[in-house]
Amino acid sequence: MRKSYSQRILSFLVEQEQKNGNAVFNKNVAKRRFRNVEDVDGSVMRRARELASNKMLKRVSVGAYSLTAKGRRVASN
């Protein structure tokens, strides 16, 4: 079964947090992680904004998001 964009974003951030201690998801990361998606702004970044509005991500700067405790719980389930 394929993961949704939201699941892929959350799992990427959890993975990066475990490696580096700090992880940020922005447009540059989205372009690298979702190479086959033509409209990164209209689909992937929209999902990131939705996750931020659902308190799973936190906006740290313009177009950059980091993981919250709620996002970690959802990603681990």
Enter the CATH code of domain 5-76. 1.10.10.10
pLDDT tens, position by position, 36-77: 888 887 889 999 999 999 999 999 999 899 999 999 888 877
Confidence (pTM): 0.88
pLDDT digits (tens, 9 = 90+) for 10-28: 999 999 999 988 889 999 9
Q: Are 73 and 19 in contact (CB under 8 A)?
A: no
If one counts every other C-beta atom within 10 angstroms of the C-beta of residue 42, the result is: 9
Asked if the model's pLDDT at residue 1 lies above 80, the reply is no
